[in-house]
């Protein structure tokens, strides 16, 4: 059997990184991990022993804000001095090329740090003539390249050679144009808005979609915050919880009945049955600042006595984004997985689980 065929038959690698902390500890890094994951398309909150939207979540869900779709935006417009001054330097600006495939198409993303990431095929890279490096996942003969442009670099100004060279490459030599998802976060000072910056026929404002549901008679794993590995007959491990949560969020039947042709999965042992569980799902272009606000409200949920022993916050990244955490290159391979999950316990201990597919680096 040939080597390529053997690789196709092998199960793809998946990586799950787990760590434990306390939400109120001075050195807790939970907010930093959220900020490092820039591009998020779905957020799910699961609260056992709860049947309706808790009061502490109402304001956080109502304050998710807007994001924007900008059609046919030339990449060189992101190099415009006014755009950089108004949005890149005065807040956190997020931009992600929309409806592009990371393993086949040219694509682009602007990080809140001011780094513009271009992931392009070999022909485009050679036409642009900009400095970059081969993709880590393109094999021995590179067919894809990554170009990083720092829009906040002191040498990157309209009168400098660097800015002129990049602008010429993206505007004249090889123009790149995408539909972009955009969001901007500016804490405090009033400033310009994305709606006023782009032509009205080019930009559309959208709000994340929020859905609520109540799950009845749900089997839930028994967890102990100080036991990541679990204990036989006492508590389940973090890996077992992660697998169970995936089944619940995807509405997989956990009964393990012999007549089921779809799934034989069942809840890990030990477990308990809760009368009801509240599930909130948010879809759209959701920036880390809003997720941090939501996470803080979830911690406040336990400020009063509750039946729930724990709750979860699960965040899925875009499968075709050029990066996952920070500037780590992201590839699709067979699924493009990049997600993380918080399990928040009643005493505000938490587990943080970060999961990735084959073509990705270990989270920071």
pLDDT of residue 142: 93
Residues in the chain predicted with pLDDT less than 70, given as ranges, are 1-13, 188-192, 255-264
Q: Which pLDDT score, from 0 to 100, does residue 357 have?
A: 87
CA distance 363 to 317: 13
Domain boundaries, the chain: 13-65+208-356, 67-206
Q: Cα–Cα distance between 54 and 298 in angstroms, integer?
A: 9
Tokens (6 digits) for 121:
């095929």
Q: Which pLDDT belongs to residue 275?
A: 96
**The overall pTM is greater than 0.85:** yes
Per-residue pLDDT at 159: 86
Q: How far apart are CA 163 and CA 328, in angstroms?
A: 24
Q: What is the pLDDT of residue 259?
A: 54
Q: Rounded distance, CA 109 to CA 183, Å?
A: 12
- Round to whole Å and give the CA distance between 158 and 113: 19
Looking at residue 2, its pLDDT comes to 46
Instruction: Decide: helix, strand or coil at residue 263.
Output: coil
Q: What is the pLDDT of residue 253?
A: 76
Taking only the tens place, the pLDDT of each residue in 97-127 is 999 999 999 999 999 999 999 999 999 999 9
Closest Cα partner for 47 from 320, 260, 245? Answer: 245
Backbone angles phi, psi at 5, to 5 degrees: -70, -40
Query: Which value, to the nearest 10 degrees, does the dihedral of the CA atoms of residues 84, 86, 88, 91 take?
Result: 170
């Amino acid at each position: 059997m040939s080597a390529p065929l053997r690789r196709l038959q092998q199960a793809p690698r998946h990586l799950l990184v787990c760590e434990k902390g306390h939400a109120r500890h001075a050195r807790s890094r939970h907010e930093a991990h959220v900020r490092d994951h820039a591009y998020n398309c779905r957020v799910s909150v699961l609260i056992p022993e709860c049947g309706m939207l808790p009061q502490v979540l109402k304001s956080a869900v109502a304050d998710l804000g807007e994001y924007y779709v900008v059609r046919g935006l030339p990449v060189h417009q992101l190099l415009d001095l006014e755009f950089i001054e108004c949005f890149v330097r005065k807040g956190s600006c997020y931009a992600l090329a929309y409806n592009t495939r990371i393993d086949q198409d040219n694509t682009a993303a602007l990080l809140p740090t001011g780094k513009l990431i271009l992931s392009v095929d070999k022909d485009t890279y050679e036409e642009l003539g900009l400095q970059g490096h081969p993709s880590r996942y393109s094999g021995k003969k590179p067919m894809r390249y990554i170009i990083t442009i720092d829009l906040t670099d002191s040498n990157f100004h309209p009168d400098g050679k660097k800015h002129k060279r990049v602008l010429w490459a993206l505007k004249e030599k090889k123009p790149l144009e995408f539909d972009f998802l955009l969001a901007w976060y500016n804490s405090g000072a009033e400033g310009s808005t994305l709606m006023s910056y782009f032509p009205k026929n080019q930009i559309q404002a959208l709000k994340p979609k929020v859905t609520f549901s109540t799950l009845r008679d749900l089997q839930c794993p028994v967890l102990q915050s100080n036991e990541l590995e679990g204990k036989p007959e006492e508590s389940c491990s973090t890996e077992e919880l992660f697998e169970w949560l995936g089944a619940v969020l995807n509405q997989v039947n956990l009964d393990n009945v012999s007549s089921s042709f779809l799934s034989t999965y069942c809840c890990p042992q030990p477990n308990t049955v809760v009368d009801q569980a509240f599930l909130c799902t948010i879809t759209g272009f959701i920036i880390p600042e809003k997720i941090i606000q939501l996470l803080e409200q979830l911690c406040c949920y336990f400020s009063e006595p509750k039946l729930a022993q724990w709750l979860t916050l699960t965040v899925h990244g875009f499968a075709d984004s050029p990066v996952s955490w920070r500037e780590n290159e992201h590839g699709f391979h067979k699924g493009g997985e990049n997600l993380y999950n918080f399990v928040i316990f009643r005493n505000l201990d938490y587990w943080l689980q970060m999961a990735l597919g084959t073509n990705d680096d270990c989270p920071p």
